[in-house]
């Protein structure tokens, strides 16, 4: 379990001090995997390094497994914290082979760990990451994926209370990244360790983590389960950051007492849905491409349907991405299965399920 309360840290730059982390608090429950997600420079790595003890925060309290490791009065140095860390560059020591890299945390442990036990635990953890056959391979002869496995094995071999991962997949090429992501997810669940990781890749965060905190400019702007964050983003920033979304400008025309509102979009289209925005407000309407239905005929029960014309199709294998011109200089991207009657230039209807529409008061 990890609790971070009121964490604040600034860095001196040429233009004066910059708050890299601004009063951040969150809790990672036991055996939970928690992701800090945000663009580069949002402060997520600084938080991770403060938790590790590689940086010292100015304010705030950090407790790992119930033990306070950093607050106003004292600071436990990195090597006395019960952590394991996977670095972005993996930081595999080049002068040691795979076995010795992984055995290192046990070899430097005090009280000493018996040789036989080190041997046993290292081989166990190497088996866990599928590297037992390469125990004696020099570190300089490892591929990116193998380095990642060794780094992970090294981080968990001494059974720390907390596993920290700094952009663990960013160093791998795209194909390998998908495979390793699945493997990493399985492994973290299997050993049931509490884990905190930082990433700028929303797919990584959403698929690996039990809970995700989206960060912007040193603050957590939204926290929740992956599905919750994805489906109900609280701000335009989060909505945009979590995936390629259609953002349409609109205006609330009328709103009844149950909150059902009629929103006018450009091109003479309208949407009817439940929103908190009051009558007359300018809003941004966010529609995810995969939540839109596309058909040559309007479906009978569709409350919200928009007519348009296909201007471009991009075949993507299992799906097709349609660019639909809906008039008023606006086009919508729709991700759907290929259909024979949907060709370039064809008139179509786009069906919008109000449950998957996010509306934010515009600027």
132/12 Cα distance (integer angstroms)? 45
The smaller minimum CB distance to other proteins, of residues 108 and 282, is found at 108
> What is the Cα 190 distance to its own chain's centre?
20
SS3 243: coil
Q: Is the dihedral of CA 84, 89, 92, 98 positive or negative?
A: positive
The smaller minimum CB distance to other proteins, of residues 43 and 289, is found at 43
Q: Work out how close the CB of 17 gets to other proteins at its nearest, in angstroms, rounded to a whole number.
A: 16
Q: Work out how close the CB of 112 gets to other proteins at its nearest, in angstroms, rounded to a whole number.
A: 12
Q: Work out how close the CB of 166 gets to other proteins at its nearest, in angstroms, rounded to a whole number.
A: 7
Assigned token pair, 298: 């309007």
The smaller minimum CB distance to other proteins, of residues 51 and 306, is found at 51
Q: Work out how close the CB of 68 gets to other proteins at its nearest, in angstroms, rounded to a whole number.
A: 19
The smaller minimum CB distance to other proteins, of residues 159 and 344, is found at 159
| Binding footprint of other proteins on the chain (CB under 8 A) | 52-54, 77-80, 83-85, 87-95, 104-105, 108-109, 139-140, 142, 144, 147, 151, 154-155, 158, 164, 166-167, 170-171
Q: Work out how close the CB of 33 gets to other proteins at its nearest, in angstroms, rounded to a whole number.
A: 18
The smaller minimum CB distance to other proteins, of residues 104 and 356, is found at 104
328/345 Cα distance (integer angstroms)? 17
211 CB-side CA count, 13 A: 16
Could you tell me if 27 and 3 are in contact, meaning their C-beta atoms sit under 8 angstroms apart? Answer: yes
Assigned token pair, 195: 């884990």
325/328 Cα distance (integer angstroms)? 9
């Amino acid at each position: 379990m990890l609790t971070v309360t009121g964490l604040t840290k600034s860095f001196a730059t040429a233009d004066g001090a910059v708050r890299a982390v601004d009063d951040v608090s969150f809790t990672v429950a036991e055996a939970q995997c928690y992701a800090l997600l945000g663009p580069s420079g949002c402060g997520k790595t600084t938080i991770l390094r403060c938790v590790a003890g590689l940086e010292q925060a100015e304010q705030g309290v950090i407790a790992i497994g119930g033990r306070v490791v950093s607050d106003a009065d004292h600071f436990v140095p990195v090597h006395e914290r019960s952590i394991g860390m996977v670095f972005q560059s993996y930081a595999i020591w080049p002068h040691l082979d795979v076995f010795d890299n992984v055995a290192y945390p046990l070899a430097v442990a005090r009280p000493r760990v018996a040789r036989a036990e080190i041997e046993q635990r290292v081989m166990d953890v190497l088996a866990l990451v599928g590297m037992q056959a390469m125990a004696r391979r020099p570190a300089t002869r490892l591929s990116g994926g193998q380095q990642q496995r060794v780094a992970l094995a090294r981080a968990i071999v001494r059974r720390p209370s907390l596993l920290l991962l700094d952009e663990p997949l960013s160093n791998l090429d795209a194909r390998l990244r998908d495979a390793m992501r699945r493997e990493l997810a399985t492994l973290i669940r299997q050993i049931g360790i509490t884990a905190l990781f930082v990433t700028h890749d929303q797919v990584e965060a959403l698929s690996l983590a039990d809970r995700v905190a989206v960060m912007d400019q040193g603050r957590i702007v939204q926290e929740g389960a992956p599905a919750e964050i994805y489906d109900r983003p609280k701000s335009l920033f989060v909505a945009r950051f979590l995936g390629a979304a259609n953002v349409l400008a609109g205006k609330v025309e009328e709103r009844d007492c149950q909150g059902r509102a009629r929103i006018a979009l450009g091109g003479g289209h309208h949407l009817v849905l439940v929103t908190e925005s009051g009558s007359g407000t300018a809003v941004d309407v966010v529609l995810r491409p995969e939540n839109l239905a596309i058909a040559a005929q309007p479906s009978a029960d569709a409350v919200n349907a928009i007519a348009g014309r296909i201007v471009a199709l991009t075949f993507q294998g299992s799906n097709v991405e349609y660019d639909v011109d809906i008039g008023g200089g606006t086009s919508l991207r729709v991700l759907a299965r290929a259909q024979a009657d949907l060709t370039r230039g064809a008139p179509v209807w786009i069906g919008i399920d109000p449950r998957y529409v996010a509306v934010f008061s515009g600027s």
